[in-house]
Structure 1
Amino acid sequence: MIKLVATDIDGTLIRESSSVLPEEIFDLIRELRKRDIYFAAASGRQYMGLKRLFAPVADQMLFISENGSNVVWKDEELYASVIDPNLIKEMQEYAKHFPNMHLTLSTTKAMHSTGSDDLSYRKMMVDGYQNDMVFDDDEDGTKLKVIKMSLYCESGIRPYAKEIEDYWQGRLNTVVAGAPWIDFMKPGTDKGAALQFVQQYFQVKKEETLAFGDNHNDLGMILAAGEGCAVSTARTAVKEAAKHIVESYEEKGVIKALQELLKKQK
């Protein structure tokens, strides 16, 4: 019997950086709650952006945002993982070696980012991801309570990923979070750890948990769920870790799986 459903957003439920959800998801979330099944949006996105995305049902669901760095339920912050300010200062200097990238520093209130003159980037962050943004190329990140850092490369992050992961190994949890993104969290922080926190908080067992994902930042969550599902377009490692494969977001694989779940659990 499933009591908790968690799904990644970008690349799993919708296209990367899209601001539009499948219309069916809202009624599905309402029906899940009627049956005492918790629904969690588990994403690298910011909490406020996710809240806007799911606005019609935001008061009926959980938000695991910033790749597991923040957990919110009914506007109450249940968990936040804050990064050492010394690492933030070092990251700001390190990012300068990659002039083709933008650095973001996420707090529980807003996302601070370089790229104030890049209008297409600003539009994507505000209109696409629906973030609360502060654009300041000279931000002193050590004065912020940062829960996640990210580097964005429009042409794709993977050519740089190994070099970046090697540099921060052991000091930050570093994960590729989509074609243009690499994210950095406090060690031990990821979607899997956040999902385990939610399971403990709401007294839900692993075998009572269903999760969907597509990228490396979803691996922990897939493994923390008794019923881990990868979409058909997922990275190979995610498919190998998953118990089930569902159709892609273009074919509404998550939607169909939730519809089938509700049919089975009448």
Structure 2
Amino acid sequence: MASNHTTAAPRKDPMLPSYLDDPALASVALVATDMDCTLLADDGTLPPDFNQLIASMENAGIVFCAASGRPCYTLREMFADHLDTIALMSDNGAAIAYRGEIIYKSLMEPKDVDELLGFTLEDGRGCPTVCSLDACYIRACDRVHDGYFRKFFSTIRYVDTLDGIDAEVNKYTVYFPERNAEEVFADAYRDAWGDRFHVTNAGREWIDVMNRGINKGSGIERLCEHLGIPTADAAAFGDTYNDIQMLEAAGHGFVVANAEEHMHAHANYLAPSNNDRGVSTVIEAMLAVRR
């Protein structure tokens, strides 16, 4: 059975060109960026000047999109001052909002969620969560990880059982506190579910499962179509597996310097690291060439 991790032929030159080598920065009309380890520093903070940068992008005719595995309600809180101008691609493309309105959502069948839950519980590794448009449902027995969960899910409903959750579910996610998600993905989830769903790692702590065809790349394509922007004029920033399709779909794919080297095969250019505020640096370069 096929993996959902996209692969590409290795580059002859292992070093990506710098973002400064992009000859068409002035043509960018959409900036979509991953959050954790990409836009956010390791301490979880946004760049200190980012509110002003969003306003500057709007003035320059560039649409900003937060593209994340995080849910829409969490992203709304993070960018509350800009909801009437920006786009939010949440749950790895399973829900897309623009100017405060949901323009696309892909909901999972309850029977599929229950089947995935049974698999996780039988496997015995990881903490299952059921992600809906309005809240994340987590077993009460996993509340011990609440401090970590709150970094991603601003609305959590702890329940005795995840069976038969009555909600608009658009993603099933498993948290691995031992940071072995990549190994468990390759050992169990890839072959069991890769033909029926889009299954991917979101770093070393998470395995995300969405409906087949749902990923950040298809999300970029849907958003560009809605905006009337060619994907060639979209810029994407990412660092890990669940960013691959987005980096490949956008005409300007930037991988941050802190990403593992295997991610270079899926991008066009190298941006500074998340802790060096690489996304802001590249956006400032885009704005500078427009002046």
Q: Same fold (TM over 0.5)?
A: yes
TM-score (norm 1): 0.94
Q: d(CA) in 2 for partners of 1:103 and 1:16? A: 25
Contact 1:66-1:148 within 8 A present in 2 as well: yes
Identity of aligned residues (%): 27
Q: Specify the code of the residue in structure 2 equivalent to 1:152.
A: Y
Contact 1:30-1:60 within 8 A present in 2 as well: no
Q: d(CA) in 1 for partners of 2:269 and 2:230? A: 19
Aligned-partner SS, 2:199: strand
> Which residue in the other structure is 1:52 paired with?
77
1:233 shift after superposition: 1.8
Q: Specify the code of the residue in structure 2 equivalent to 1:112.
A: Y
TM-score (norm 2): 0.86
Aligned residues: 263
- Quote the RMSD (CA, aligned, Å): 1.6
Aligned-partner SS, 2:120: helix
1:130 shift after superposition: 4.5
Note the 1:114-153 alignment, pairs <5 A. Answer: 114=139, 116-126=140-150, 128-141=151-164, 143-153=166-176
Aligned-partner SS, 1:103: strand
Contact 2:71-2:90 within 8 A present in 1 as well: yes
Aligned-partner SS, 1:182: strand
1:235 shift after superposition: 3.2
Superimposed CA distance per residue, residues 203-262 of structure 1 (whole angstroms, 9 cap, x where no aligned partner): 101221111001111011111110100011223342111000111111111111111111
Q: Specify the code of the residue in structure 2 equivalent to 1:192.
A: G
Aligned-partner SS, 2:275: helix
Gaps of 5+ in 1: none
Aligned-partner SS, 1:23: coil
Q: Specify the code of the residue in structure 1 equivalent to 2:240.
A: N
Superimposed CA distance per residue, residues 40-69 of structure 1 (whole angstroms, 9 cap, x where no aligned partner): 000000111111112232332100000000
Q: d(CA) in 2 for partners of 1:201 and 1:141? A: 34
Aligned-partner SS, 2:57: helix
Superimposed CA distance per residue, residues 81-111 of structure 1 (whole angstroms, 9 cap, x where no aligned partner): 1112221111111111344421111111111
Contact 2:127-2:142 within 8 A present in 1 as well: no
Higher relative contact order (Cα pairs below 8 Å, separated by 6+ residues): 2
Contact 1:104-1:149 within 8 A present in 2 as well: yes
> Which residue in the other structure is 2:230 paired with?
205
Contact 1:216-1:237 within 8 A present in 2 as well: no
Higher Rg: 2
Instruction: Work out whether 1:10 is the aligned partner of 2:33.
Output: no
